[in-house]
Amino acid sequence: MNWFTNTLWTSVGKKLLMAVTGLFFCVFLALHLVGNLTIYAGKDAFNSYAEHLHSLGPLLTAAEWGMLLFALIHICTGLLLFYQNFTARPERYAVNKRAGGRTLGSATMPYTGVILLLFVIYHLFNFHFVDKTHTTIFQIVSTAFSKPSYVVIYTFAMIVAAVHVSHGFWSAFQTLGANHPKYTPFLKGLSLVFSLIVGIGFGFIPIYVSLLV
């Protein structure tokens, strides 16, 4: 067991933790998007999706605690790696060489990560930690998106999410060993497609709902 904890404490170990937890959140994002897309089928479909989700009871609670644990690991490890990279390079280089080249996504990972963390806290207080006894989830979402400030914040956050996953997705595969001239271009393409699906798929929902109300 000691080798396991020792490995996790190395920088490779920390990157592995980031990759595994990051890919877990990519799966969560894909499932969350599929659920949210039911809003296009109308309020009954969206409410029924939320009811089905809540009918999972203890399973949902377990998934939520698991997600919180993974989020803590992802955020703390990410901040630690950022701090270690920062202190390891006292003089700033004009060009920061990363495998795969410097892209908007790779250059902004820590910043988009922090914005996403703030967004998720805001988001949970908007839609999750609210009294749902005399209302429906559709009502809560449509009341929020009737306010232009919510639409702007959500749309901006979805662009940030897309930029974050555009690098995180393929970088996670690279950390897990899929670093091969044959697979890298495919994974980069897949990463771009996934980030566009996240950005456009989530980003259009606030705009669509605001046009309904």
Binding residues for ligand HEM, rule: CB under 6 A, are 32, 36, 50, 53, 64, 116, 120, 123-124, 127-128, 137, 141, 154, 161, 202, 205-206
Q: Where are the beta strands (DSSP E) in the chain?
A: none
| Residue 98: partners with Cβ closer than 8 Å, 6 or more residues away | 106
Rounded to the nearest 10 degrees, the angle between the axes of helix 148-175 and helix 184-212 is 170
For residue 107, which of 163, 161, 157, 159 has the smallest C-alpha distance? 163
Q: At closest approach, how far in Å is the CB of 161 from ligand HEM?
A: 5
Which residue, 120 or 178, is less far from ligand HEM as judged by CB? Answer: 120
CB 81 within 8 A of CB 11: yes
Which residue, 60 or 104, is less far from ligand HEM as judged by CB? Answer: 60
Q: At closest approach, how far in Å is the CB of 154 from ligand HEM?
A: 5
Which residue, 8 or 33, is less far from ligand HEM as judged by CB? Answer: 33
Which residue, 145 or 173, is less far from ligand HEM as judged by CB? Answer: 145
How many helices (H) and strands (E) the chain has is answered by: 9, 0
Q: At closest approach, how far in Å is the CB of 140 from ligand HEM?
A: 7
SS3 content of the chain, % helix, strand, coil (to 5): 80, 0, 20
Q: At closest approach, how far in Å is the CB of 72 from ligand HEM?
A: 13
Q: At closest approach, how far in Å is the CB of 147 from ligand HEM?
A: 14
Which residue, 15 or 123, is less far from ligand HEM as judged by CB? Answer: 123
The number of residues in the chain equals 213
129: exposed, middle or buried (Cβ count in 10 Å: 0-12, 13-18, 19+): exposed
Report d(CA 117, CA 123) in Å as an integer.
Answer: 10
Which residue, 151 or 187, is less far from ligand HEM as judged by CB? Answer: 151
Q: At closest approach, how far in Å is the CB of 173 from ligand HEM?
A: 20
